[in-house]
């Protein structure tokens, strides 16, 4: 039986494992920098998967593809040891297509207050 956790729950372990693996592959001292570059490259997917709560804000009119209906969804979560609130662009199947903005917070309460102010 497999045990699955959302990224937000396992964030610290995911980063530690990613850094360790990259250091094994590319050498000591570069693992953390490469891990952060990897997170930046896949920023939208990581933040969407790390969400703890989400709230529908409205439809997104500036669509990437006119045949796909997209929505704006505000999310709150934790990734890489930091809390965040972000506005995501999401399709009807729950797939993230983009991120319009993100704020980072040091404390959970700050993030949830910002999330509530949507």
Encode pLDDT of 82-118 as tens digits: 999 999 999 999 999 999 999 999 999 999 999 998 6
DSSP code of residue 30: S
Average pLDDT, the chain: 85
Query: 50 burial class (0-12, 13-18, 19+ CB within 10 angstroms)?
Result: buried
pLDDT band of residue 3 (cuts 50, 70, 90) is: very low
- Residue 115 backbone phi and psi in degrees, to 5: -65, -40
Where along the chain do its domains lie? 7-116
Give the C-alpha separation, 32 to 37, whole Å.
Answer: 9
Give the C-alpha separation, 43 to 11, whole Å.
Answer: 14
Per-residue pLDDT for 26 more than 60? yes
Decide which of 62 and 53 is more confident: 53
8 A C-beta contact, residue 71 and residue 19: no
- For 108, the enclosing helix (H) or strand (E) is helix 108-116
């Amino acid at each position: 039986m497999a045990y699955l956790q959302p990224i937000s729950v396992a964030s610290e372990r995911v980063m530690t494992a990613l850094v360790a693996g990259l250091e094994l592959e590319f050498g000591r001292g570069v693992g953390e920098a490469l891990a952060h570059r990897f997170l930046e490259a896949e920023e939208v997917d990581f933040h969407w998967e790390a969400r703890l709560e989400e709230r529908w804000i409205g439809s997104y009119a500036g669509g990437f593809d006119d045949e796909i209906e997209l929505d704006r969804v505000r999310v709150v979560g934790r990734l890489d040891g930091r809390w965040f609130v972000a506005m995501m662009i999401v399709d009807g199947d729950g797939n993230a297509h983009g991120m319009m903005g993100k704020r980072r917070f040091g404390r959970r309460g700050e993030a949830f207050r910002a999330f509530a102010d949507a």
